Structure 1
């Protein structure tokens, strides 16, 4: 069962960070007054999150199911990369981009519902943190706690970019083929020795051809990965720009709705004031007529 301290910690990392310090200070003071030094120490260790970290924390605490899906997808991506399943990796990378965009949108809604201004949220940092969580299991574990204090970033993607290949020299290959006692064996003579020399030469040619082909493929892979990174960065910028534009539209629509409400109130106020003016005009005219009548009566008395 969660303790009162757990409830305070949860509130600290769910509420907007602008009230973090005051809430923490009040909770520490309350714990000290109650003589609970351990709780006071635990609360003092809580660090104020940045706005981006707060948004990610809010997502982790309010929608742990989505963070669980993120962890599952990250494990699948790392497995596909370790095994170099190209088609599967491309499909999962596409899922990654779509899923991260959906997570950012969900986090934005939660932050706005919690009182944050939609136009001031650092959604680029939120997306970078979620992308890093997909690439790095340690970052994913930190995100899952709901207690990040700053955003995260990841330079690459995947834990092992490609298998590490060991180059075997010609001497190593020959030693492996000949075995540990090959130096003591009787050298082949005549046609057998020539045939063995031809076999070794053919094997060396095949080894060199495989090595050349491997280097070509590694260059192609590096170029493809670089192109993918550039495409991902371009897509990231486009998605952020689209999200920012969508946020701006939402903000403008909210402002327009507020202005329309104020205009309606102002029109109603003008109508009320116009009616009041007309009433005042009628009362003023009646007062003037009354003044005239009284003055006429006074004049009649004076003439008698």
Structure 2
């Protein structure tokens, strides 16, 4: 049964790539807030898919039945190739083209429903589905619904293994050594090696062994350097990924601060208008007070004795 994190990852890969980074950042922040470090780590390792990979992911996640049809047909094709059944192979190849075309159409429909008006690299989608039909390992990746880039395949079907046969040539034997035949005993004898030939052969053997030892040392050094380079690459990728996530986080914080700034500016404008209204009301009240005081003074000055 898929976990909540698996379901979240599936939703991320179903969304159009333009919104992937923001959605991933939000999911990471939510996981951190809930204290789910493992989920946050899994989410942080996710990579943004290309548009073509996203289209294939949609097909795999929403129409897995179509992907299964493709896998079944690819299995039948490989069986036909092994059996060298020409008629069946031609029929299955025709079905292959029809199935791939139908899957591309279904993927296009799903993508346009998710993002109307999107420009879709359908050629890359078709190449990926064709590669999935030819290579079981690519088909397994397609099934996950988590492709990050499209795939290609140079040819279709299995590469036949070369046939080996033992070749003998009596002429070569005669060129390498002179054969002496004793007609009476009917025995073939080969001349023994001379001392000089043995020394030359021993020298070549020593040179060969020395060169092999040197190459083994070079291979060990190269393999160690490769491991160090791989470790350095992993650290660099992790640092790049962390830096990218930091930028994403800062962008999100900046967007939030910009939103709050806009709200604060609007609040300042409202309060400024309220102050102006209060100033006008105060001025009017003061004028009214002055008018009433003046009227009262006039009245009191004319009071009868």
| Shorter-normalised TM range | 0.5 to 0.7
* 1:167 positional shift: 2.2
Query: Paired residue for 2:160?
Result: 162
Match of 1:115 in 2: 115
> Cα distance 1:6–1:163, how it changes in 2: closer, same or farther (>3 A)?
closer
TM-score (norm 1): 0.54
Aligned to 1:80: 80
Asked if 2 retains the 8 angstrom alpha-carbon contact of 1:56 and 1:143, the reply is yes
- Cα drift, residue 162 of structure 1: 2.8
Could you report, residue by residue, the CA deviation over 1:22-78 in whole angstroms, capped at 9, with x for unpaired residues? Answer: 000000001011111000001111111000000000000000000011111111111
Q: Please say if 1:49 is aligned against 2:54.
A: no
Give the Cα separation in 1 of the matches to 2:28 and 2:97. Answer: 42
Equivalent pairs counted in the alignment come to 173
**Which residue does 1:226 correspond to in 2?**
none
Please give the alpha-carbon distance, in whole angstroms, between the structure 2 residues aligned to 1:116 and 1:150: 21
The alignment partner of 2:87 has SS state of: helix
Partner SS state of residue 53, structure 1: helix
The whole-number CA distance in structure 1 between the counterparts of 2:161 and 2:25 is 51
Choose between structure 1 and 2: higher helix proportion. 1
Equivalent residue number for residue 269 of structure 1? none
Give me the whole-angstrom Cα distance separating, in 1, the residues matched to 2:79 and 2:169: 35
CA distances 1:186-231 after superposition (whole Å, capped 9, x unpaired):
9xxxxxxxxxxxxxxxxxxxxxxxxxxxxxxxxxxxxxxxxxxxxx
User: What are the equivalent positions in structure 2 for 1:169-208 lying under 5 Å apart?
Assistant: 169-170=167-168
What CA distance in whole angstroms lies between the structure 2 residues aligned with 1:128 and 1:150? 11
Q: How does 1:118-133 map to 2 (within 5 A)?
A: 118=118, 120-133=119-132
* Deviation (angstroms), 1:169: 2.4
Q: 1:1-304 maps to which residues of 2 (within 5 A)? A: 1-118=1-118, 120-158=119-157, 160-170=158-168
Deviates more, 1:2-11 or 1:124-133: 2-11
Which position in structure 2 is the counterpart of 1:221?
none
What's the Cα RMSD here? 2.0
Matches of 2:87 and 2:129, distance apart in 1: 23
Contact 1:82/1:163 (<8 A) preserved: no
Aligned equivalents of 1:5, 1:162: Cα separation in 2: 43
1:81–1:89: 8 Å Cα contact kept in structure 2? yes
